[in-house]
Structure 1
C-alpha cells in the first residue's frame, strides 16, 4: 500500500468535513447552507459509502431551497444584499482590529462566505431560468 491512499483519505475527510461544518453553520447564518452540506456529504461519501444514503434526500432539499432563493425579485435582492453585507463586514473586520475577533482571518472568512453566497445565487438563478420554458414571441 502506497502513501497516496492515506493522504487522499485525509484530504477527503478534511475537505468534506470543512464543507459539512460550514454548511451546517450557514443553515442558521445567511448563506447557502444546504448546498454546502450536500457538497460535504458528496465528498465524504466518496470514501465512506455508508453516507451515500443521505446524499439524495439532502440533494432534493438543497435544490428546492436553491429554487426558492430565486423565486421572486425580493428574495434575489435580499440574497444579493446579504452577500454584499458579508463582503463589507469582512473588509471591516479585516481593517478594524479592535472588533471582537478582528483581523483578516475573520474578515477573509466573511468575504469568502459572501462570495460563495453570490456565486451560488447566480448558479441557482441560471439553473432555474434554464428549466423554464422559453417565452413565445
Structure 2
C-alpha cells in the first residue's frame, strides 16, 4: 500500500472518528446527535467494510430521532435554546480569560457545535415537512 493510500485512509479514519465522537457527545444535548454518529459510521464504513452492519440500525434510529427532534414546538424550542447556549458559551469561553480552558480554540469548537446543531435541526425540519406534505398529497 502506497504512502498516499495510507495517508488517505488515516485521514478518512480520523474524520470518521471525530464525527462519531462528536455525535456521541451530542447525544446528551437536545438535538440530532445520532445524525453525526451515522455520518461518522458512514465515513468509517467507506474504509472499513466490517462497520457496514452497524449503519442501517443507526440510520433507522437517527432518522426517527431527527423526526422526533422537530415533532413539537417545545422540542424545537429546546433545540434552538441549546444551540443558542452553545453559541453564547463559545463567545464567553473565547473572550473571558479567567475560565478554565479559555481561549478561541475552546470557544470556536463550541460555536462550531452550535452551527452543526442548527444545520441538523434545519435539515430535520425540512425533511419532516416534506414527508408530511408527501403524505397529504397521497
Task: Give the shorter-chain TM-score range.
Answer: over 0.9
Partner of 1:6: 6
Number of residue pairs matched by the alignment = 136
Unpaired runs of 5+ residues, structure 1, are none
What's the CA shift for 1:125? 0.2
SS at match of 2:2: coil
SS in 1 for 2:113: helix
Whole-Å Cα distance in 1 between the matches of residues 9 and 46 of structure 2?
9
Q: Which residue of 2 aligns with 1:128?
A: 128
Partner of 1:74: 74
In the aligned structure 1, how far is the partner of 2:31 from the partner of 2:129? Answer: 21
SS in structure 1 of the partner of residue 35 of structure 2: helix
Counterpart of 2:91?
91
Residue 112 of structure 1 aligns with which residue?
Answer: 112
Please state which structure has a larger fraction of its residues in helix: 2
Which residue in 2 is equivalent to 1:38?
A: 38
Structure 2, unpaired ranges of 5+: none
- The whole-number CA distance in structure 2 between the counterparts of 1:21 and 1:73 is 28
Answer yes or no: is the 8 Å Cα contact 2:93–2:99 preserved in 1: yes
Q: CA RMSD in A?
A: 1.5
Aligned equivalents of 2:43 and 2:132: distance in 1?
A: 30
**Could you state the TM-score of these two structures normalised by the residue count of structure 2?**
0.93
CA distance in 2, matches of 1:55, 1:26: 18
